[in-house]
Amino acid sequence: MSADEQRCLLRRIRRLVGLFIAALVLSGATAIPLESEVMWLADVTGAHRLMDSSAAPAPEWAVWLCRVEAALHEINLKHPFISYGGDWLAFGHFMIAIAFIGAWRDPVRNRWLFDFGLIACALVVPYALTFGALRGVPCWWRLIDCSFGILGAVPLWLARRLVKKLRNDE
């Protein structure tokens, strides 16, 4: 493999790792202002309107979204320290993103991070399904949570394959 091909491979790997890092940071950042985000989501999706309509019963997703919004409002009003857990969730996302800078800088030397990330992504599925069920989260919401692990695994898996290809040539 030529030096140009190696540089091209390295650029592709870095783009995939950069995408994963950006997704982690964005996902973490959204864990902080949950109440305002859920309020916005309920407005945008029309959940409030559907709940107020007497024409037909509101769909399950609208009932759930408005329930979550009301709970977050009550928690932040009466027990704002509970939201500190979401702040720490965000911190965890940020720290994992920082760890992946090592994979971005030197993907061959830090290839173990791809395995770590893929394992973490795979564990999102049983974690969300198990703890979501224990906490009374609807199945369709748990599947949305599972999708984060599945979607996160795609750039990591592709980058891992490219690192193997790059490594075999060295």
For 62-78, b/e burial (b = at least 16 CB within 10 A) is bebbbebbeebeeeeee
pTM summary value: 0.89
Which H or E element spans position 26? helix 3-29
Find the domain containing 92 and state its range.
3-169
Give me the number of domains the chain comprises: 1
Read off the pLDDT of residues 53-100 as tens digits, 9 standing for 90 and up: 777 888 999 999 999 999 999 999 999 999 999 999 999 999 999 999
Helix, strand, or coil (residue 127): helix
Mean pLDDT of 42-63: 88
**At which residue do the structure tokens 């702040």 appear?**
87
For 136-167, b/e burial (b = at least 16 CB within 10 A) is ebeeeebeebbebbeebbebbebbbebbeebe
